[in-house]
Amino acid sequence: MTRPAPFRIALVGLPATGKTTYIAALWAYLRSGLSETKYRVTRVPDDTTYLNAIAKAWSERKDMPRNSPGATDRVEFTIEVPNRDPLTVVIPDLPGEMFLNALRRPSIDEIPAEAVTSCDLLLLFVNGKTAKTFAPLGDHEATDENETEPPQSAEDATADNTQAPNEFAIDDLDSDTLNTELLHRLGYLLRDHPRPATVVVVSAWDVVDGTAESPEEWLKHEQPMTWQYIDELRRTTRIGVVGISAQGADYDDDPKVHHKTAYERSWGRDVNGNMTDIAGPLLWHDGVAQAGS
């Protein structure tokens, strides 16, 4: 049997947006004895140590093992999908610090650059629990026009003049600005390459589920600049927005969620807001992608 051509997926996103947790939940799900009507892993990596380690941490409600900013783990396996050709998935697990560094410097490191320019599907992870955007100036609470600032003492004025201003850090920006800038950098990186289909994956979807009709409606409201950028990409690229709850629930709401079986625990929402399994984003490129793009 001829091995199917690899379908390369690049997971990109800032630190703590759920990329490794997603891979851990996906691996645990695919290896959990699913029925033949679902998926079957027909070829596994020669060394599954890393996948098993993160899946174990996920199942035991422990923090994910962290890669150093200069390291990456390459994940590759083949999934047999009912009514579809087998799918050989190649996913480099890239630390979020690599992408944050891409915003601090004018260039992107070689490893994430190669992963992005060679991928067939780009997954941008946004943490639904911590995502924020700064309010426009006109949206700040109005102050009483009669209110005045207390007069500044001579001592305060002197202190202000001698104090060094705080140094600006890229981390001070809100996630909406950072995600938009990251997409701009990736777009420039892809200028001489075919633009891959792109999916925004809103992680920790269990926290925001029910706040919007669909993941895209949530993104449009909570990360408007990011949404505007990907909406513009629709002119030339297939675009989707999905929600993923790799953990299954917020631990504060359901502290025993990790006792559920792998195929019962993790879940998501597709581009139309319908519930899906954890593998949904991987299959987005197929008929689901065309229906939701």
Burial (CB count within 10 angstroms: exposed 0-12, middle 13-18, buried 19+), residue 259: exposed
Q: Is residue 97 part of a domain?
A: yes
202-213 b/e (C-beta count within 10 Å ≥ 16 → b): bbbbbbbbeebe
How far is residue 119 from each of residues 5, 8, 113, 115, 193, measured CA to CA in Å?
12, 5, 10, 6, 10
pLDDT tens per residue, range 125-161: 999 998 877 665 444 444 444 444 555 544 554 455 5
The proportion of the chain whose per-residue pLDDT surpasses 70, expressed as a percent, equals 77
User: Which residue reads 């990251």 in tokens?
Assistant: 182
pLDDT in tens, 8-18: 888 898 888 99
**155 located within any domain:** no
In-domain check, residue 12: yes
pLDDT at 137: 43
- Write out the DSSP string of 193-262: SPPPEEEEEEESHHHHTTSSSSHHHHHHHHSHHHHHHHHHHTTTS-EEEEEEESSSS-TTT-TTGGGS-H
- The answer to whether residue 181 sits within a structural domain is yes
Pairing status of strand 267-269 against strand 239-245 = antiparallel
φ/ψ (deg, to 5) at 124: -95, 115
Is residue 142 in a domain?
no
pLDDT of residue 103: 72
DSSP 14: S
For 92, the domain range is 6-133+169-292
Q: Is residue 119 part of a domain?
A: yes
In a domain, 140, yes or no: no
CATH at residue 67: 3.40.50.300
Provide the domain count of the chain.
Answer: 1
Domain-located, residue 156? no
Of the two residues 183 and 109, the one the predictor is more confident about is 183
Whether the predicted model's global pTM rises above the 0.85 cut? no
pLDDT (0 to 100) of residue 66: 62
> What H or E segment, with its residue span, contains residue 91?
strand 87-93
pLDDT at 113 over 70: yes
Binning pLDDT at 50, 70 and 90, where does residue 286 land?
Answer: low
